[in-house]
Amino acid sequence: MKRLYNQVDKQILKQRLHTQPQDRTTLSFYKYHHIADPVAFRDFLYQQWIETDVMGRVYVAEEGINAQISVPNAQFESFKQLLYSVDFLNGIRLNTAIEDDGKSFFKLKIQVKKKIVADGLNDKTFDASDSGKDLNAKEFNALSAQPGTVVVDMRNHYESEVGHFKNAILPDVDTFREALPVAEKLLEDKKDSNIIMYCTGGIRCEKASAWMKHRGFKNVFQLEGGIIEYARQVKSQGLENKFVGKNFVFDERLGERISEEIISVCHQCGQPCDTHTNCRNEACHLLFIQCEECAKKFDGCCSSECKEIVALEPAIQKELRKGKAQGRMVYKKGRSANIKFRAEATTAPHS
């Protein structure tokens, strides 16, 4: 039986990906659906997708599936046939990347999780499939322009920092589980208002809209397909683009441009910049915004201290990391003491 996980070193995989001549398409999809045996479903997907050279990060849980992947163009139709052969995924919308060089992922990783979106909720009466009303790009533009409509960004602070919809509320949170109670608190006196939730590809705002309905909000909407699908529709239909800046993405690209405005600043010098990077010091790996000048000055690091460490021999760096838990830097993005400058979030609802 084939091993259902990758065993090749990631640096080798990255090098292999960048030398491959074949074109690839980056895409994402999700579906809230009850899966009786997530482990078996995970193994089924891995065996099928590894044969068509799919790469990416996929979460499977009893509540459904969440996938961000890249597929060779030559295998795209074969992949779609395999995907659509699964009853509850038949005909599902595939959000294709806006800016894409096909180098977004370098291996296939499918994990079984408790939930496809960690929400911190323990309410067994909550039904994530009972979500708000979907809005396409044209409907979003129209409704968001109406007096009294509230638009809420359900992403993390480091995502909205580089790009967001005009006049949206931007909760200053690190995780989605933090965003739900914060958004509910901010909107506690808006239960009869039109409320539009949005996120990257739809998965978080769909659950958020369902939760707001569950908590008694009357007129809840969500941007169907998220920012990715909105940008596609705006371009194809010649609509006004109400999104400013970049759309943060959770792959090797770290962002795709939606509009030409740069609304954030370099975390080290304060100059206009919206390029995310990870600190080159493997013991730090902090995600932060860095301009080209600071990248040269600090050798791709977030601080002078980290710059000194990456100048050491690799063996010495490895020795220094021994016994130190790096943790998931996702919870520290933009919170480090090394971050000197940062664009401010908007946390108050508009009247």
Condensed to tens digits (0 to 9), the pLDDT of residues 81-107 reads 999 999 999 999 898 877 666 666 878
Place of tokens 């979030």: 345
Taking the C-alpha atoms of residue 130 and residue 141, their distance in angstroms, rounded to an integer, is 24
Q: For residue 227, is it within any domain? A: yes
Taking the C-alpha atoms of residue 97 and residue 56, their distance in angstroms, rounded to an integer, is 13
Determine phi and psi for 69, rounding to 5 degrees.
-140, 170
Identity of the residue numbered 103:
K
Together in a domain, 17 and 105:
yes
pLDDT of residue 350: 47
Check residues 320 and 227 and name the one with the higher pLDDT: 227
Q: Indicate if the pLDDT at residue 199 is higher than 90.
A: yes
Most confident of 16-30, 102-116, 325-339: 102-116
Check residues 249 and 152 and name the one with the higher pLDDT: 152
Place of tokens 């980056």: 26
Average the pLDDT over 121-147 and give the result: 93
Q: Indicate if the pLDDT at residue 299 is higher than 70.
A: yes
Check residues 351 and 7 and name the one with the higher pLDDT: 7
Taking the C-alpha atoms of residue 274 and residue 97, their distance in angstroms, rounded to an integer, is 18
Task: Kindly name the residue from 199, 284, 301, 306 that is annotated as catalytic.
Answer: 199
The tens digit of pLDDT for each residue in 230-262 reads 999 999 999 999 999 999 987 778 889 999 999
Query: Residue 227 sits in a domain of what CATH number?
Result: 3.40.250.10
pLDDT of residue 319: 82
pTM > 0.85: yes or no: no
Query: Residue 72 sits in a domain of what CATH number?
Result: 3.30.70.100
User: What's the CA dihedral at 31, 230, 262, 117 to 10 degrees?
Assistant: -10
Q: Where residue 1 falls among pLDDT bands split at 50, 70, 90?
A: very low
Average the pLDDT over 136-158 and give the result: 96
Distance of CA 29 to the CA centre of its chain: 12
Together in a domain, 102 and 154:
no
Structural domain count, the chain: 2
Taking the C-alpha atoms of residue 190 and residue 187, their distance in angstroms, rounded to an integer, is 5
Average the pLDDT over 107-123 and give the result: 91
- Indicate if 291 belongs to the active site: no
Report angle CA 197, 333, 161 to the nearest 5 degrees: 45
Q: Percent of the chain having pLDDT more than 90?
A: 64
pLDDT of residue 252: 76
pLDDT of residue 187: 94
Q: For residue 233, is it within any domain? A: yes
Final residue in a domain of this structure, among 204, 237, 270: 237
* Domain encompassing residue 144: 133-237
Query: Are 40 and 34 in contact, with CB atoms under 8 Å apart?
Result: no
Q: For residue 77, is it within any domain? A: yes
Identity of the residue numbered 128:
A
Name the average pLDDT for the chain.
87
Taking the C-alpha atoms of residue 170 and residue 165, their distance in angstroms, rounded to an integer, is 9
Query: Are 102 and 24 in contact, with CB atoms under 8 Å apart?
Result: yes
pLDDT of residue 143: 98
Q: Where residue 330 falls among pLDDT bands split at 50, 70, 90?
A: very low
Final residue in a domain of this structure, among 183, 207, 237: 237
pLDDT of residue 54: 93
Numbers of helices and strands, H then E, in the chain? 11, 14
